[in-house]
Amino acid sequence: MKTVLITGAGIGIGRATAKAFGAAGYRVIVTDVLPDEGASVVEEISAAGGTAEFHPLDVTSTEAANAVVAMVEANYGAIDTVVCNAGIAHKVPLDELSDEKWDHTFDVDLKGMFRVIRAAAPKMRAAGTGSVVCLSSIMGVAYGWDEHVQYSSAKSGVVGMVRGLAVELAPSGLRVNGVAPGYIRTAQALSEKHSLGPEGLAQAADFIPMGRVGEAEDIADVILFLASDAARYLTGQVVTVDGGLLVGRY
């Protein structure tokens, strides 16, 4: 049985991704800073006949990332797929954007991915196979986002990390790709304080060519594809999944 480790798997895209991998027959290592939500994902996967377990993980801690990866490897061997999904998006005007707030977003959204990948890579390389999928955003590949400059910057950094790691790890048989979601119906997008809110998200459907806002499952299925043998010759790419938004809004 293949093993996938997913960060931020308690809610939103991470949750949908965990359930998709569970349905595909993977052993799903659900990690999050939200223990109740993480445990409930495990219950859902198990109830559907899948295999899953929850481990608390704050990706801003190198010690915690190393420990969780080591524990999984001790029990199951090299991890087959790492999905780096944990992230935050806080609305902060430039004149209130302190070094600490900037650093915190980068610590979660970019360095948090690096910590987990760095920990898992040695045994994956030794195994000569595996895949990594990192979550960027349309705000990291095409758009700027008002009062979210730290988020757009970190998510742009994810693109560079995907490219650099893809080249470095390809000779070892590992593939590294990313997904850049558009407007997706998640708790983050529904936040009026930090994002569009319910009304803004509903209005977004009007200028998305496919006529609807995305669902978490729309992203999860692409992540599952990127991890699969169907994407065996695909590495170093960040796939935009946005219902045609970027190509259709002039």
Q: Which amino acid is at 43?
A: E
Q: Nearest Cα to 39, choosing from 27, 56, 26? A: 56
Active site residue 233: no
Query: Can you tell me whether residue 56 is helix, strand or coil?
Result: strand
* Catalytic residue chosen out of the listed positions 151, 183, 233, 250: 151
In 58-196, where does DSSP find H-type helix?
62-76, 99-109, 111-127, 138-141, 149-169
**Residue 27, amino acid:** R
Number of CB atoms found within 10 A of residue 123's CB: 16
Task: Give the Å distances, CA to CA, from 171 to 85, 159, 188, 235.
Answer: 25, 20, 37, 12
Residues marked as catalytic: 151
